[in-house]
Structure 1
Amino acid sequence: MQNRLTARGVRRFGLLALLLSGQFGWACHTMAAQIRVTDADGLPLANAVLLVEGVPPRAEDSYVMDQIDRQFVPHTLVVPVGAQVDFPNSDDVRHHVYSFSEAKPFELRLFKGEEAPPVTFERPGVVVLGCNIHDAMVGYILVTEHPRFAVSDAAGQVLLPDLPEGKWPVSWWHPDQFQQAPVALGELDLNQRDQTLSLPISATVEAPAPALSPLQQRFKSLQ
Protein backbone atom coordinates (compact mmCIF):
# COMPACT_ATOMS: atom_id res chain seq x y z
CA MET A 1 0.00 0.00 0.00
CA GLN A 2 2.77 2.38 0.90
CA ASN A 3 4.54 1.64 -2.39
CA ARG A 4 1.35 2.32 -4.39
CA LEU A 5 0.87 5.64 -2.61
CA THR A 6 4.46 6.53 -3.24
CA ALA A 7 4.14 5.72 -6.92
CA ARG A 8 0.92 7.72 -7.13
CA GLY A 9 2.66 10.63 -5.41
CA VAL A 10 5.53 10.43 -7.86
CA ARG A 11 3.10 10.54 -10.78
CA ARG A 12 1.31 13.55 -9.29
CA PHE A 13 4.61 15.30 -8.67
CA GLY A 14 5.67 14.57 -12.22
CA LEU A 15 2.42 16.00 -13.61
CA LEU A 16 2.77 19.12 -11.45
CA ALA A 17 6.36 19.56 -12.58
CA LEU A 18 5.27 19.22 -16.21
CA LEU A 19 2.55 21.85 -15.81
CA LEU A 20 4.89 24.25 -14.05
CA SER A 21 7.59 23.76 -16.65
CA GLY A 22 5.03 24.53 -19.35
CA GLN A 23 3.98 27.71 -17.58
CA PHE A 24 7.54 28.85 -17.04
CA GLY A 25 8.40 27.87 -20.59
CA TRP A 26 5.58 30.09 -21.89
CA ALA A 27 6.73 32.92 -19.67
CA CYS A 28 10.28 32.62 -20.99
CA HIS A 29 9.00 33.12 -24.54
CA THR A 30 7.35 36.46 -23.79
CA MET A 31 9.16 39.64 -22.91
CA ALA A 32 8.49 43.30 -22.27
CA ALA A 33 9.98 44.98 -25.31
CA GLN A 34 11.48 48.39 -24.56
CA ILE A 35 12.37 50.57 -27.53
CA ARG A 36 13.72 54.10 -27.72
CA VAL A 37 12.31 56.16 -30.59
CA THR A 38 14.16 59.19 -31.95
CA ASP A 39 13.50 61.70 -34.68
CA ALA A 40 15.67 62.38 -37.73
CA ASP A 41 18.04 64.46 -35.58
CA GLY A 42 18.48 61.74 -32.96
CA LEU A 43 16.29 63.49 -30.38
CA PRO A 44 13.68 61.62 -28.30
CA LEU A 45 10.38 61.51 -30.15
CA ALA A 46 7.15 61.60 -28.15
CA ASN A 47 3.74 60.42 -29.42
CA ALA A 48 5.23 57.99 -31.93
CA VAL A 49 3.01 54.94 -32.39
CA LEU A 50 4.41 51.45 -32.98
CA LEU A 51 2.00 48.87 -34.41
CA VAL A 52 2.79 45.15 -34.40
CA GLU A 53 1.11 42.50 -36.56
CA GLY A 54 1.03 38.72 -36.33
CA VAL A 55 1.01 38.50 -32.52
CA PRO A 56 -1.82 37.61 -30.11
CA PRO A 57 -3.86 40.64 -29.02
CA ARG A 58 -3.72 41.81 -25.45
CA ALA A 59 -6.73 41.64 -23.15
CA GLU A 60 -9.42 44.27 -23.56
CA ASP A 61 -8.55 47.59 -21.95
CA SER A 62 -10.32 50.81 -21.02
CA TYR A 63 -9.58 53.90 -23.09
CA VAL A 64 -9.74 57.48 -21.83
CA MET A 65 -9.14 60.83 -23.53
CA ASP A 66 -9.16 63.35 -20.69
CA GLN A 67 -9.03 67.14 -20.81
CA ILE A 68 -6.49 68.61 -18.40
CA ASP A 69 -5.15 72.19 -18.39
CA ARG A 70 -7.02 72.80 -21.65
CA GLN A 71 -5.18 70.01 -23.40
CA PHE A 72 -6.20 66.54 -24.54
CA VAL A 73 -4.49 63.94 -22.35
CA PRO A 74 -3.00 61.83 -23.77
CA HIS A 75 -2.10 63.86 -26.83
CA THR A 76 -2.14 60.63 -28.86
CA LEU A 77 -4.37 57.66 -28.03
CA VAL A 78 -4.44 54.34 -29.90
CA VAL A 79 -7.50 52.10 -29.69
CA PRO A 80 -8.66 48.93 -31.47
CA VAL A 81 -11.58 49.02 -33.88
CA GLY A 82 -14.83 48.89 -31.92
CA ALA A 83 -13.40 50.39 -28.74
CA GLN A 84 -15.33 52.80 -26.55
CA VAL A 85 -13.48 55.91 -25.37
CA ASP A 86 -14.48 57.94 -22.32
CA PHE A 87 -14.06 61.72 -22.45
CA PRO A 88 -13.94 63.02 -18.88
CA ASN A 89 -13.32 66.73 -18.38
CA SER A 90 -10.93 67.30 -15.48
CA ASP A 91 -10.74 71.05 -16.07
CA ASP A 92 -12.70 73.72 -14.23
CA VAL A 93 -14.04 75.01 -17.57
CA ARG A 94 -16.47 73.36 -19.95
CA HIS A 95 -15.26 71.81 -23.21
CA HIS A 96 -17.03 71.19 -26.50
CA VAL A 97 -15.20 68.28 -28.14
CA TYR A 98 -15.69 67.51 -31.81
CA SER A 99 -14.14 65.76 -34.81
CA PHE A 100 -14.82 66.13 -38.51
CA SER A 101 -12.56 63.17 -39.34
CA GLU A 102 -13.89 60.64 -41.83
CA ALA A 103 -13.06 57.74 -39.52
CA LYS A 104 -15.39 59.13 -36.81
CA PRO A 105 -17.22 62.45 -37.00
CA PHE A 106 -18.85 63.27 -33.65
CA GLU A 107 -19.61 66.06 -31.23
CA LEU A 108 -19.77 66.29 -27.44
CA ARG A 109 -21.44 69.58 -26.61
CA LEU A 110 -20.47 71.74 -23.65
CA PHE A 111 -19.83 69.42 -20.72
CA LYS A 112 -17.85 69.11 -17.52
CA GLY A 113 -16.78 66.25 -15.28
CA GLU A 114 -18.09 62.92 -16.57
CA GLU A 115 -21.26 64.23 -18.22
CA ALA A 116 -20.23 63.19 -21.74
CA PRO A 117 -21.22 59.69 -22.92
CA PRO A 118 -18.51 57.34 -24.24
CA VAL A 119 -17.86 57.35 -27.97
CA THR A 120 -17.49 54.13 -30.00
CA PHE A 121 -14.94 54.07 -32.81
CA GLU A 122 -16.12 51.55 -35.40
CA ARG A 123 -13.75 52.25 -38.30
CA PRO A 124 -9.94 52.27 -38.60
CA GLY A 125 -8.29 55.59 -39.29
CA VAL A 126 -7.08 58.80 -37.72
CA VAL A 127 -9.49 60.93 -35.69
CA VAL A 128 -8.37 64.52 -35.07
CA LEU A 129 -9.97 66.11 -32.01
CA GLY A 130 -10.68 69.76 -31.36
CA CYS A 131 -12.58 71.97 -28.94
CA ASN A 132 -14.99 74.67 -30.08
CA ILE A 133 -14.15 76.73 -27.00
CA HIS A 134 -10.36 76.34 -26.92
CA ASP A 135 -8.80 76.52 -30.37
CA ALA A 136 -5.36 75.46 -29.12
CA MET A 137 -6.69 72.07 -28.04
CA VAL A 138 -5.76 69.37 -30.53
CA GLY A 139 -5.63 65.63 -29.91
CA TYR A 140 -5.41 62.44 -31.95
CA ILE A 141 -7.01 59.01 -31.76
CA LEU A 142 -5.60 56.34 -34.03
CA VAL A 143 -8.13 53.53 -34.52
CA THR A 144 -6.34 50.39 -35.65
CA GLU A 145 -6.86 46.74 -36.53
CA HIS A 146 -3.34 45.85 -35.35
CA PRO A 147 -3.36 43.48 -32.34
CA ARG A 148 -0.54 45.26 -30.47
CA PHE A 149 0.36 48.92 -30.24
CA ALA A 150 2.07 51.43 -27.97
CA VAL A 151 2.89 55.14 -27.90
CA SER A 152 6.25 56.68 -27.00
CA ASP A 153 6.46 58.89 -23.91
CA ALA A 154 8.24 62.25 -23.55
CA ALA A 155 11.60 60.45 -23.41
CA GLY A 156 10.84 58.52 -26.59
CA GLN A 157 10.42 55.26 -24.70
CA VAL A 158 7.96 52.62 -25.91
CA LEU A 159 6.93 49.63 -23.81
CA LEU A 160 5.25 46.56 -25.34
CA PRO A 161 4.54 44.07 -22.53
CA ASP A 162 4.38 40.30 -23.11
CA LEU A 163 5.57 40.48 -26.71
CA PRO A 164 6.41 37.00 -28.06
CA GLU A 165 9.94 36.34 -29.20
CA GLY A 166 10.65 36.54 -32.91
CA LYS A 167 10.48 38.99 -35.78
CA TRP A 168 7.13 40.61 -36.43
CA PRO A 169 5.83 43.11 -39.01
CA VAL A 170 6.04 46.59 -37.46
CA SER A 171 4.60 49.90 -38.64
CA TRP A 172 4.82 53.39 -37.24
CA TRP A 173 2.68 56.53 -37.19
CA HIS A 174 3.01 60.01 -35.72
CA PRO A 175 0.60 62.98 -35.42
CA ASP A 176 2.90 65.01 -37.68
CA GLN A 177 1.92 62.53 -40.39
CA PHE A 178 -1.77 62.51 -39.47
CA GLN A 179 -2.98 62.53 -43.08
CA GLN A 180 -0.92 59.44 -43.93
CA ALA A 181 -1.48 55.79 -43.12
CA PRO A 182 0.99 53.97 -40.83
CA VAL A 183 4.35 53.35 -42.51
CA ALA A 184 5.76 49.80 -42.63
CA LEU A 185 9.20 49.19 -41.13
CA GLY A 186 9.42 45.53 -42.16
CA GLU A 187 9.87 42.59 -39.79
CA LEU A 188 11.74 43.57 -36.62
CA ASP A 189 12.87 41.81 -33.47
CA LEU A 190 11.65 44.32 -30.90
CA ASN A 191 12.99 42.29 -27.98
CA GLN A 192 16.62 43.17 -28.70
CA ARG A 193 18.28 45.06 -25.86
CA ASP A 194 19.07 48.78 -26.12
CA GLN A 195 17.19 49.08 -29.39
CA THR A 196 16.65 52.50 -30.97
CA LEU A 197 14.35 53.26 -33.88
CA SER A 198 15.00 56.48 -35.78
CA LEU A 199 12.00 57.86 -37.67
CA PRO A 200 12.30 60.31 -40.60
CA ILE A 201 10.52 63.25 -38.98
CA SER A 202 11.61 66.15 -36.78
CA ALA A 203 10.28 66.56 -33.24
CA THR A 204 7.99 69.54 -32.72
CA VAL A 205 7.54 71.58 -29.57
CA GLU A 206 3.98 71.95 -28.35
CA ALA A 207 2.83 75.54 -27.79
CA PRO A 208 1.66 76.38 -24.26
CA ALA A 209 -2.07 76.74 -23.69
CA PRO A 210 -3.20 80.36 -24.10
CA ALA A 211 -4.85 82.36 -21.34
CA LEU A 212 -8.65 82.21 -21.11
CA SER A 213 -10.42 84.68 -23.39
CA PRO A 214 -13.44 86.70 -22.16
CA LEU A 215 -15.74 84.26 -24.00
CA GLN A 216 -14.06 81.32 -22.28
CA GLN A 217 -14.45 83.08 -18.93
CA ARG A 218 -18.19 83.33 -19.62
CA PHE A 219 -18.44 79.61 -20.20
CA LYS A 220 -16.52 79.01 -16.97
CA SER A 221 -19.04 81.13 -15.07
CA LEU A 222 -21.89 78.89 -16.31
CA GLN A 223 -20.84 76.04 -13.99
Structure 2
Amino acid sequence: MSMNVAFTGFEGGAERFGIDPKTYARMEINSINRAGRRIKRDLLVEPMSAATGVKRVIFNDRIAFRPATSNVPMGKIVPSSHGIPARSFRHRSFDPDSTGTRAKILVAWWNGEKVAAGFINPLSKRRLPLATRSEKARAVRAGTRNPHIKRYRYSWGAVPQNAQAPSAAALMGVMMDDGRQAQAADILAEEFNIDLDKVLF
Protein backbone atom coordinates (compact mmCIF):
# COMPACT_ATOMS: atom_id res chain seq x y z
CA MET A 1 0.00 0.00 0.00
CA SER A 2 1.36 3.42 -0.97
CA MET A 3 -0.08 6.85 -0.33
CA ASN A 4 -0.05 9.83 -2.69
CA VAL A 5 0.45 13.34 -1.36
CA ALA A 6 -0.91 15.77 -3.94
CA PHE A 7 -3.38 18.56 -4.60
CA THR A 8 -6.58 17.53 -6.37
CA GLY A 9 -9.32 19.85 -7.56
CA PHE A 10 -7.13 22.98 -7.27
CA GLU A 11 -6.81 23.80 -10.96
CA GLY A 12 -6.57 27.49 -11.72
CA GLY A 13 -5.30 28.38 -8.28
CA ALA A 14 -2.63 30.73 -9.58
CA GLU A 15 -5.23 32.81 -11.44
CA ARG A 16 -7.64 32.88 -8.51
CA PHE A 17 -4.98 34.19 -6.15
CA GLY A 18 -3.24 36.37 -8.72
CA ILE A 19 0.09 34.58 -8.29
CA ASP A 20 2.68 33.94 -10.99
CA PRO A 21 2.10 30.34 -12.22
CA LYS A 22 5.75 29.34 -11.71
CA THR A 23 5.71 30.70 -8.17
CA TYR A 24 2.42 28.92 -7.49
CA ALA A 25 3.76 25.62 -8.84
CA ARG A 26 6.84 25.94 -6.61
CA MET A 27 4.59 26.64 -3.61
CA GLU A 28 2.64 23.45 -4.31
CA ILE A 29 5.79 21.33 -4.60
CA ASN A 30 7.34 22.76 -1.43
CA SER A 31 4.18 22.31 0.61
CA ILE A 32 3.65 18.75 -0.70
CA ASN A 33 7.19 17.81 0.34
CA ARG A 34 6.92 19.35 3.80
CA ALA A 35 3.52 17.73 4.30
CA GLY A 36 4.78 14.34 3.11
CA ARG A 37 7.59 14.33 5.66
CA ARG A 38 5.17 15.39 8.42
CA ILE A 39 2.61 12.75 7.45
CA LYS A 40 5.28 10.07 7.46
CA ARG A 41 6.57 11.14 10.88
CA ASP A 42 3.36 12.13 12.71
CA LEU A 43 0.73 9.85 11.19
CA LEU A 44 2.81 6.76 10.45
CA VAL A 45 6.21 6.30 12.11
CA GLU A 46 5.33 7.70 15.55
CA PRO A 47 2.00 5.87 16.04
CA MET A 48 3.36 2.66 14.48
CA SER A 49 6.23 2.66 16.94
CA ALA A 50 3.94 3.41 19.89
CA ALA A 51 1.55 0.60 18.93
CA THR A 52 4.12 -2.11 18.25
CA GLY A 53 7.23 -1.27 20.25
CA VAL A 54 9.31 -1.32 17.05
CA LYS A 55 11.95 1.41 17.13
CA ARG A 56 11.19 4.53 15.08
CA VAL A 57 14.46 4.17 13.19
CA ILE A 58 13.25 0.85 11.76
CA PHE A 59 9.99 2.31 10.48
CA ASN A 60 11.86 5.35 9.18
CA ASP A 61 14.00 2.98 7.16
CA ARG A 62 11.04 0.85 6.02
CA ILE A 63 8.86 3.77 4.88
CA ALA A 64 10.17 5.92 2.03
CA PHE A 65 8.90 9.34 1.01
CA ARG A 66 9.44 10.12 -2.65
CA PRO A 67 9.31 13.92 -2.97
CA ALA A 68 7.37 15.87 -5.56
CA THR A 69 9.31 17.54 -8.38
CA SER A 70 8.50 20.03 -11.10
CA ASN A 71 8.03 17.11 -13.51
CA VAL A 72 5.96 15.02 -11.08
CA PRO A 73 4.06 17.39 -8.74
CA MET A 74 3.04 14.57 -6.39
CA GLY A 75 4.76 13.04 -3.40
CA LYS A 76 4.42 9.36 -2.57
CA ILE A 77 4.79 7.50 0.72
CA VAL A 78 5.90 3.92 -0.01
CA PRO A 79 6.18 1.35 2.80
CA SER A 80 8.31 -1.76 2.43
CA SER A 81 6.54 -5.09 2.03
CA HIS A 82 9.45 -7.03 3.60
CA GLY A 83 8.68 -8.55 6.98
CA ILE A 84 10.18 -7.07 10.15
CA PRO A 85 11.87 -9.43 12.64
CA ALA A 86 9.38 -10.46 15.30
CA ARG A 87 11.92 -9.75 18.04
CA SER A 88 11.72 -6.05 17.08
CA PHE A 89 8.10 -5.99 18.26
CA ARG A 90 6.73 -6.30 21.75
CA HIS A 91 5.93 -9.99 21.66
CA ARG A 92 4.91 -12.98 23.77
CA SER A 93 4.36 -16.69 23.40
CA PHE A 94 0.85 -18.12 23.31
CA ASP A 95 -0.84 -21.53 23.15
CA PRO A 96 2.05 -24.03 23.44
CA ASP A 97 1.75 -27.33 21.58
CA SER A 98 1.57 -30.74 23.25
CA THR A 99 5.36 -30.89 23.66
CA GLY A 100 5.49 -27.58 25.48
CA THR A 101 8.49 -26.55 23.39
CA ARG A 102 6.72 -24.67 20.58
CA ALA A 103 4.24 -21.86 21.06
CA LYS A 104 2.69 -19.30 18.73
CA ILE A 105 4.21 -15.81 18.57
CA LEU A 106 1.92 -12.88 19.26
CA VAL A 107 3.31 -9.45 18.34
CA ALA A 108 1.87 -6.09 19.32
CA TRP A 109 -0.20 -4.70 16.45
CA TRP A 110 -2.53 -1.84 15.60
CA ASN A 111 -5.33 -1.98 18.19
CA GLY A 112 -4.34 -5.43 19.39
CA GLU A 113 -2.02 -8.33 18.63
CA LYS A 114 -1.21 -10.42 15.56
CA VAL A 115 0.17 -13.92 15.08
CA ALA A 116 3.63 -13.92 13.50
CA ALA A 117 5.12 -16.75 11.46
CA GLY A 118 7.33 -18.98 13.58
CA PHE A 119 7.42 -20.16 17.17
CA ILE A 120 8.82 -19.51 20.65
CA ASN A 121 10.12 -22.24 22.93
CA PRO A 122 8.47 -21.40 26.29
CA LEU A 123 11.01 -23.61 28.09
CA SER A 124 13.98 -21.63 26.77
CA LYS A 125 15.62 -19.03 28.99
CA ARG A 126 15.80 -16.49 26.14
CA ARG A 127 12.44 -17.30 24.49
CA LEU A 128 13.48 -15.93 21.09
CA PRO A 129 10.95 -15.82 18.23
CA LEU A 130 12.31 -18.39 15.77
CA ALA A 131 11.36 -19.14 12.18
CA THR A 132 10.00 -22.53 11.22
CA ARG A 133 11.35 -24.52 8.33
CA SER A 134 8.90 -24.34 5.46
CA GLU A 135 8.06 -25.90 2.14
CA LYS A 136 6.72 -24.31 -1.01
CA ALA A 137 5.17 -25.90 -4.11
CA ARG A 138 7.54 -25.90 -7.09
CA ALA A 139 6.35 -24.91 -10.55
CA VAL A 140 7.08 -27.84 -12.85
CA ARG A 141 6.93 -27.09 -16.58
CA ALA A 142 8.19 -28.65 -19.78
CA GLY A 143 11.96 -28.51 -19.64
CA THR A 144 12.14 -28.13 -15.85
CA ARG A 145 15.16 -29.91 -14.39
CA ASN A 146 14.41 -32.74 -11.95
CA PRO A 147 10.62 -32.63 -12.52
CA HIS A 148 10.12 -35.35 -9.90
CA ILE A 149 10.95 -32.79 -7.18
CA LYS A 150 7.57 -31.23 -6.47
CA ARG A 151 8.41 -28.96 -3.54
CA TYR A 152 11.18 -26.68 -2.33
CA ARG A 153 12.25 -27.10 1.29
CA TYR A 154 13.73 -24.12 3.08
CA SER A 155 16.09 -25.04 5.89
CA TRP A 156 19.03 -23.43 7.65
CA GLY A 157 20.77 -26.46 9.10
CA ALA A 158 21.69 -26.29 12.77
CA VAL A 159 21.32 -22.51 13.15
CA PRO A 160 17.74 -21.27 13.73
CA GLN A 161 16.70 -18.03 12.05
CA ASN A 162 14.72 -15.11 13.45
CA ALA A 163 10.97 -15.26 12.95
CA GLN A 164 9.46 -12.59 10.74
CA ALA A 165 6.46 -10.47 11.69
CA PRO A 166 4.32 -8.57 9.16
CA SER A 167 5.72 -5.62 7.22
CA ALA A 168 5.38 -1.85 7.47
CA ALA A 169 3.12 -2.05 4.40
CA ALA A 170 0.78 -4.47 6.17
CA LEU A 171 0.64 -2.24 9.23
CA MET A 172 0.02 0.89 7.15
CA GLY A 173 -2.78 -0.94 5.36
CA VAL A 174 -4.75 -1.51 8.56
CA MET A 175 -4.14 1.87 10.19
CA MET A 176 -4.80 4.26 7.29
CA ASP A 177 -8.55 4.69 7.69
CA ASP A 178 -10.71 7.61 6.54
CA GLY A 179 -9.93 9.59 9.68
CA ARG A 180 -6.19 9.35 9.19
CA GLN A 181 -6.57 10.20 5.50
CA ALA A 182 -8.49 13.32 6.54
CA GLN A 183 -5.67 14.24 8.94
CA ALA A 184 -3.18 13.90 6.08
CA ALA A 185 -5.29 16.23 3.92
CA ASP A 186 -5.40 18.77 6.77
CA ILE A 187 -1.60 18.67 7.08
CA LEU A 188 -1.22 19.33 3.35
CA ALA A 189 -3.66 22.26 3.49
CA GLU A 190 -1.87 23.67 6.53
CA GLU A 191 1.53 23.54 4.83
CA PHE A 192 0.18 25.16 1.67
CA ASN A 193 -1.46 27.97 3.64
CA ILE A 194 1.92 28.77 5.23
CA ASP A 195 3.41 29.45 1.80
CA LEU A 196 0.28 31.21 0.58
CA ASP A 197 0.38 33.63 3.51
CA LYS A 198 4.01 34.44 2.78
CA VAL A 199 3.19 35.36 -0.81
CA LEU A 200 -0.07 37.24 -0.21
CA PHE A 201 0.81 39.03 3.02
TM range (shorter): under 0.3
The structure that is strand-richer by fraction is 1
TM-score (norm 2): 0.24
The structure that is helix-richer by fraction is 2
Question: Which of 1 and 2 has higher RCO (CA within 8 Å, sep 6+)?
Answer: 1
TM-score (norm 1): 0.22
